[in-house]
Amino acid sequence: MRPPRSTRLGFQPPAIGEEEIAAVTETLRSGWLTTGPRTALLEERMASYLDAEHVLAVASGTAALHLALLAVGVQPGDEVITSPITWPATANVIEHCGATPIFCDVRDTDLNIDPALIPALVNERTRAILPVHLAGQPADLDPISALGLPVVEDAAHAAESVYRGRKIGAISDASCFSLYATKNIAAGEGGLVATNRDDVAEAIRNMRLTRRGDGSHYDQVTAGFKANLSDVLAAIALVQLDRIDAHALIRQRQFDLYDVGLADLDGITPLVRDPRDVHALHLYVVRIDAARAGADRDAYQRALADELIGTSIHFLPVHKLTWFRDRYPAQPPLAVAEHAGREVLSLPLSPAHSDDDILDAIDAVSRLHERFTA
């Protein structure tokens, strides 16, 4: 076994190279800093990559979700059904529309929303369904689409995902991607909405920037936001898009190393990946069963930090966070999500990491497993 590390291994550092730096410099020299030609090119190239009619660039994945919900008609008093195993932004944007998030429990296999449980939650106030593609594994969209309600996907983890032969981005009313610093296309900040609906694209175009000028006058057709993307960030995203396949290959190798390296550790199990789909390999999430692994997730996370291995949690169930708990005290228990929320741990994964880095992480987990189960 390899000795413990002497330098900290980051959980998910971005893979930024000289090309990204040159692209930023070039943009700064161009004199055009805000939404402009680079953003337009990013939208065009992402539309082609995602097989989508339209891609609209916005300021964040959160803004993408917010504007997409508004664009499909979510209004105050409505309900939107979503997954509790997600970043809180997914539920916050429902609140920002004046609507209520209705949390639906997840499947024990991949921790994506359980389509079998959705129909019982649908009523006359239900305006949309918001599935999340956790870690890059597509949610089961066919039974969700079959319910006939607008579907807005949280595709923050799913830039490369394919569901049963169709790209995520090409399927639902809207798919919302994030360009946040840790994401598969990392620009630092930014978001994208992909849609095949002309009306959704037009609504988002009108909302992401309040002012749309066409000469000396300006006008507005809706009370918009300031949710546009800067060309400086679009320039980074364009280079990251050039590297998307190369980066995916590196993460695939890291997944393979983890799959093999952790296979014999009783009680430490990766989330299930469906072989019918393309997984975006955004996060390597394991579940730690305290009874078999000798210690719980929190003990492993603390001990890994002591071993200089950075980890993260995706995710704590949103309905259990203070604000949602206080706001909806009568929330019914969501047994699978709540159990999983105590077990999930995401291990280091990044095209910026070497194979040796990942082997260090595997050895650290193995060493702790040996200690905790002794």
CB of 360 to ligand PLP, least distance (A): 25
Q: Tell the residue number behind the tokens 């002309």, with chain if given.
A: 198
Residue type, 59: A
Q: Which CB, 66 or 247, lies closer to ligand PLP?
A: 66
Binding mask 174-193 for ligand PLP (x = CB under 6 A): ----x-x----------x--
132 counts as binding ligand PLP under rule CB under 6 A: yes
Binding mask 235-264 for ligand PLP (x = CB under 6 A): ------------------------------
Residue type, 121: L
Q: Which CB, 156 or 268, lies closer to ligand PLP?
A: 156
Contact region for ligand PLP (CB under 6 A) — 8-16, 60-68, 265-273, 303-311? 60-68
Out of 60, 100, 311, 350, which residue is the one contacting ligand PLP (CB under 6 A)?
A: 60
Contact region for ligand PLP (CB under 6 A) — 38-46, 82-90, 106-114, 288-296? 82-90
By CB neighbour count within 10 A (0-12 exposed, 13-18 middle, 19+ buried), where does 332 fall? exposed
Q: Are the CB atoms for 121 and 332 separated by under 8 Å?
A: no
Residue type, 41: L
- Return the beta strands (E) in 70-165 as ranges: 79-82, 100-103, 126-130, 152-154, 162-163
Find the binding residues for ligand PLP in span 144-173 (CB under 6 A): 154, 156-157
Residue nearest to ligand PLP according to CB distances in the complex: 61
284 counts as binding ligand PLP under rule CB under 6 A: no
Q: Which CB, 178 or 195, lies closer to ligand PLP?
A: 178
Residues whose CB falls within 8 Å of the CB of residue 78, separated by 6 or more in sequence, listed in order: 97, 98, 99, 100, 125, 126, 127, 128
27 phi/psi in degrees, rounded to 5: -65, -45
Residues whose CB falls within 8 Å of the CB of residue 159, separated by 6 or more in sequence, listed in order: 177, 183, 184, 185, 244, 280, 282
94 counts as binding ligand PLP under rule CB under 6 A: no
| DSSP structure class, residue 84 | S
Active-site entry in 167, 183, 226, 320? 183
Q: Tell the residue number behind the tokens 């620009």, with chain if given.
A: 187
84 counts as binding ligand PLP under rule CB under 6 A: no
Establish whether 183 is a catalytic residue. yes
Q: Which CB, 67 or 132, lies closer to ligand PLP?
A: 132
83 counts as binding ligand PLP under rule CB under 6 A: no
Q: Are the CB atoms for 287 and 340 separated by under 8 Å?
A: yes
Residues lying near ligand PLP in the complex (CB under 6 A) are found at 60-62, 86-87, 89-90, 132, 154, 156-157, 178, 180, 191
Question: What residues act catalytically?
Answer: 183
